[in-house]
Amino acid sequence: MRMAQFLFLILAISGQLHAQKDTRRLRAFPFPVIYYAPETRLVGGIAGVGTFRFKRDSIQSKPSSMTVGLAYTQNRQLLLYSTFSLYYDHQRWYAFGEAGYYKYSYKFYGVGQHETPVVIYGVDYPRIKINLAHHIYTHLYAGFGYQFENYAIKDTATSGPLADQSIPGIRRSRSSGLGPQLIYDSRDTVLFPSRGFYATLSWMNNGTLWGGDHNFNRFVLDASYYCKVYPKLILALNSYFSIVKGDAPFQQQSLLGGNKRMRGYYEGRYIDKNGAVLQTELRFPIYGRFGGVAFGDAGSLGNEQQVFRLDDLKYSYGAGIRFNVIRKDHLNLRLDYALVHGSSGVYFTIGEAF
């Protein structure tokens, strides 16, 4: 798996040297997707990322960005996705989110402190996340967010962990939610900040009122701080808190793991109603377009009885390499290697973890 992901990095760099389109308002970078994982076997596809500015905005405005990708696996799994971050009308409007359709597989370890024998289940689902905010004061934005996911689990075993009907969403779940949010953004740049603060505070009501089949509320605070501790050494800090109230399907509860938070743990390795993660990164240049990072994370889960189990903290740490594919806006390819208790993880993607 690691050799294949290294091949992916080499192919991406090679593609960048020949295929980058560079104009004043648009910079685009296509690259091949090639990797191997036990759950998927061989994966192949194509993806592209671009940064741009709308016609009415100046070249000094914050850049908008969009990533699109299509991949197919040897296990007949399909990944079709797009993410976006848009600034419009001299940054008076800010929109971000994602849209995708996935035929995939995940590992299920159980929910809360009730761990089960690990099973792999298949699931088909579309995902839509749309956030729209308007500038109201200095660095402050206010707006609304909407999210829709429709999970259809294909594992039909009549016994075992996936047959426990007491777990919400164990067979099928449709989550649809809407709610207000506040965004504070004083970063000097969007894609690779060296100073400033970025935070979102949101409440999302999910339920039958919006077309879902589970009623629950989610409160999220996601805050990051960036500063230079040396001329070319950047310290990045992130804190993330998620509290879920109500009958949330297990896919919509708070989780640890993945390529954004608690790298090294499989995404969804730990799931419960509430989650808290603290992350830190040191980012530094290596040579030319190459840079490096060292990072460490700590996380905790909780529920209605104990908001966060601080006596059961999880830890991860590691290092990574960055390759700057779009110099002006400092958009990086990210390759991270993370270590946790009993396992490790390799991640290759576009953009920083936070």
Who's near 5: CB < 8 A, 6+ residues apart? 35, 335, 346, 348
For the stretch 296-306, pLDDT in tens is: 999 999 998 99
**Residue 192 covered by a domain:** yes
Amino acid 3: pLDDT? 40
CB 5 within 8 A of CB 335: yes
Assign residue 250 the CATH number of its domain: 2.40.160.50
For the stretch 240-252, pLDDT in tens is: 999 999 999 999 9
For every residue of 121-157, DSSP letters joined together read EEEEEEEEEEEEEEEEETTEEEEEEEEEEEEEE----
User: What sections of the chain are H helices per DSSP?
Assistant: 2-19
**Residue 121 covered by a domain:** yes
**Residue 136 covered by a domain:** yes
A 10 A CB-CB count for 290 gives 13
Integer Cα distance of 63 and 217 in angstroms: 33
Integer Cα distance of 319 and 40 in angstroms: 25
Residue 177 has pLDDT above 50, yes or no: yes
CB 40 within 8 A of CB 342: no
**Residue 33 covered by a domain:** no
Integer Cα distance of 145 and 210 in angstroms: 13
168/17: higher pLDDT: 168
Please report, rounded to a whole number, the percentage of residues in the chain having pLDDT higher than 90: 58
pLDDT band at 40 (very low <50, low <70, confident <90, very high): low
Kindly state the DSSP code that residue 266 receives in the 8-state scheme. Answer: P
**Residue 27 covered by a domain:** no
Amino acid 105: pLDDT? 83
Residue 101 has pLDDT above 90, yes or no: yes
Q: Give the domain extent around 170.
A: 92-350
Amino acid 13: pLDDT? 42
CB 20 within 8 A of CB 29: yes
Amino acid 56: pLDDT? 85
Integer Cα distance of 335 and 345 in angstroms: 11
CB 162 within 8 A of CB 170: yes
Who's near 166: CB < 8 A, 6+ residues apart? none
Residue 260's φ and ψ, nearest 5 degrees, are -105, -45
Integer Cα distance of 126 and 150 in angstroms: 6
Amino acid 21: pLDDT? 47
Amino acid 138: pLDDT? 92
* Per-residue tokens: 64: 């908008």
Report the largest interatomic distance among the alpha carbons of the chain, rounded to a whole angstrom: 60
Task: State the burial class of residue 331 (Cβ atoms within 10 Å of its Cβ: 0-12, 13-18, 19+).
Answer: buried
Residue 6 has pLDDT above 50, yes or no: no
Residue 20 has pLDDT above 80, yes or no: no
For the stretch 66-89, pLDDT in tens is: 999 999 988 788 999 999 999 999
pLDDT band at 18 (very low <50, low <70, confident <90, very high): very low
Distance of alpha carbon 290 from the chain centroid: 23
Which value, in Å, is the radius of gyration of the alpha carbons in the chain? 20
State how many domains the chain has.
1
For the stretch 190-232, pLDDT in tens is: 899 999 999 999 999 999 999 999 999 999 999 999 999 999 9
Please report, rounded to a whole number, the percentage of residues in the chain having pLDDT higher than 70: 89
Residue 191's φ and ψ, nearest 5 degrees, are -90, -25
pLDDT band at 158 (very low <50, low <70, confident <90, very high): low
pLDDT band at 106 (very low <50, low <70, confident <90, very high): confident
Q: What's the pTM value of the predicted model, to 2 decimals? A: 0.84
Distance of alpha carbon 299 from the chain centroid: 16
**Residue 187 covered by a domain:** yes
Amino acid 12: pLDDT? 44
**Residue 6 covered by a domain:** no
Q: Pick the range with the lowest mean pLDDT from 107-111, 160-164, 241-245, 297-301.
A: 160-164
CB 49 within 8 A of CB 331: yes
**Residue 231 covered by a domain:** yes
Integer Cα distance of 97 and 132 in angstroms: 9
